[in-house]
Amino acid sequence: MCQRCAIDVVSNRSPASPSRRTALGKLGAISLLGLPGPIRTAYAKPPPKPDNALSPDDAIERLMVGNKRYISGETLDRDFSANRAALVRGQNPYACILSCADSRVSPELCFDEERGDLFVTRVAGNYVTNDLLASLEYGVAVLHASVILVLGHTRCGAVSAAVNSFENQTQFPGHIQTVITALLPAVRSAAATSHTGTLAEAATLENIRQNVARLAEATPILSSAVRDNHLKVIGGIYDLGTGRVDLLS
């Protein structure tokens, strides 16, 4: 059996069409992780930002050093035209961020980074959806990001709404209820255990932890990268009042 057919059998798909095989060949996601798959054509050229090729630990350190600059107000001067030509030919961000869509939280700002450094996915409540999971798999397998940070924040409106739904059986209009439903497992878990502070504060932390676990265990791409020490999945919370990001243990 050919490698492509083997992959399709494992994932319960019929053999891929020629167009699908071409697309997967360009991604090269599977073979990055040491699994059977297409040749890594995505990595034939040198990365546009060589300084972004970091180990997971170095990537985490860079995030936190950048956050310290942001807190102090001593952010780096940026010439956004300097890397424009390099970024036209590709990208190699060193970290992926799963962030809340809240307008007060801007990952590139709070880590004092510029274009091409962070691969950011956002949704109210910073929880994993299938589409966001696929995006993060791409960021790791194809773009070589070595860290995924699930970034929650204080006074999260989405989490507060989920707490309201839990305590008062509140229903929200339109598709907003979809977000609330996704966050309720974290609210229920936080309510069932002892915690300091408000239920919303405890649920915010629990939501981060649950989504860190989901990403770290996501097969086949992310879990393999974690197992092979190519990737670390971590959680952090951004304080709206201070700008500080604290990593969760």
Listed by start position, the domains of the chain span: 1-44, 49-247
| Rounded-to-integer distance, Cα 153 and Cα 222, Å | 24
| Rounded-to-integer distance, Cα 210 and Cα 9, Å | 30
Mean pLDDT of the chain: 87
pTM: 0.83
Q: Is the pLDDT of residue 207 over 50?
A: yes
Contact (CB, 8 A) for 81 and 136:
no
Amino acid (1-letter code) at residue 50: P
- HSE, side-chain direction, 13 A CA sphere, residue 198: 11
Amino acid (1-letter code) at residue 232: K
Q: Is the pLDDT of residue 138 over 50?
A: yes
Q: Is the pLDDT of residue 97 over 90?
A: yes
* Range of weakest confidence among 41-45, 189-193, 245-249: 41-45
Q: What is the pLDDT of residue 81?
A: 82
Q: According to CATH, what is the number of the domain 49-247?
A: 3.40.1050.10
Nearest-CA neighbor of 15 among 28, 25, 2, 5?
5
Q: Is the pLDDT of residue 48 over 60?
A: yes
Q: What is the pLDDT of residue 230?
A: 97
3-class DSSP state of 218: coil
Q: What is the pLDDT of residue 25?
A: 43
pLDDT: is 78 or 216 the higher one? 216
pLDDT: is 104 or 249 the higher one? 104
Q: Is the pLDDT of residue 125 over 50?
A: yes
Q: Is the pLDDT of residue 26 over 90?
A: no
pLDDT: is 215 or 43 the higher one? 215
Q: Is the pLDDT of residue 118 over 70?
A: yes
3-class DSSP state of 96: strand
Residue 241's pLDDT band (boundaries 50, 70, 90)?
Answer: very high
